[in-house]
Amino acid sequence: MPNQNRVAIAVAPNGGRRTKADHPALPIAPDELARVAAASLEAGAAMIHVHVRDRDGQHLLDAEAYRATTAAIRASVGERLIVQITSEALGIYRPEQQMQVALEVRPEAVSLALRELVPDQTHEAAFASFLETLRAEKVTPQIILYTPEEATYLAALAGRGLIPFDSLPVLYVLGRYTVGQTSRPADLLPFLAPDTPSFGHWMVCAFGGQETACVTAAALLGGHARVGFENNLFLPGGALASGNQDLVAATRRAVEACGLTLANADTLRGQWDGA
């Protein structure tokens, strides 16, 4: 069914892979991310998904770096954006390190890739304990799912009592971090198949120039949108975006053209609480 709630747009402005060689406006430093946060908020975003880097510009999971960046964003936009940190491993960090940084930072929200945090059944108990701590600390996890099979596994964990939330927000990833990857709206359909478990609050991110089309299709089917330079640099017509706010604005125009309305940060917080 179409989304009866307002559609939330999250901006993912940098990721852990791209550099300024890919786009000069890719934000890395805290002040750059703070400026992107303000521009994306004005364009229609309700959340910012944050990666931080080390001195060499490489992917980093570090509590102090996250605190500095979060402080800069809060100084710029206050509570008008949800600040979500990533726990992405990028082939560098182990599950215990990924969980530890979230526990040290205690952010408002954190994204967790199921395949990284629970690579096999021996990690299930630690993951369940970690989620319980997040629940107690009022940190909202969003579970990243790359395949319908992962959605089925997450539902099975919940069925065995290992998920201490009534409902977890999830992010469906359409595609992979590969050269030339272009996601298409039809890539969403396996996640919504009748034999795939459903979730109360789901969001979609997509790679390449059809990003806006993919997330708009998600919005029409009851989901929410994550856009930005982490996954895509191009506007729907093929032109290079000047900044992340252009991708947020393009999504806003498409969603509103379909008769849907946007969520702000407080609305998104309420959606998560009621998921």
Structure confidence at residue 178 (pLDDT):
65
Low-confidence ranges of the chain (pLDDT < 70): 1-4, 177-180, 275
Structure confidence at residue 274 (pLDDT):
75
At the topology level, CATH places domain 9-274 in TIM Barrel (3.20.20)
95-105 vs 63-77: helix crossing angle, rounded to 10: 40
Torsion, Cα of 40, 41, 46, 48 (10° steps): 50
Structure confidence at residue 3 (pLDDT):
43
Q: How far apart are CA 72 and CA 195, in angstroms?
A: 44
Structure confidence at residue 179 (pLDDT):
66
pLDDT in tens, 140-172: 999 999 999 999 999 999 999 999 999 899 999
Q: Where are the domains of the chain?
A: 9-274
Structure confidence at residue 17 (pLDDT):
95
Structure confidence at residue 181 (pLDDT):
78
Q: How far apart are CA 97 and CA 106, in angstroms?
A: 14
Q: How far apart are CA 220 and CA 23, in angstroms?
A: 31
The pTM of the whole model exceeds 0.85: yes
32 phi/psi in degrees, rounded to 5: -65, -45
Using CA atoms, how far residue 13 sits from 36, 220, 244, in Å, is 8, 24, 6
Q: How far apart are CA 120 and CA 38, in angstroms?
A: 40
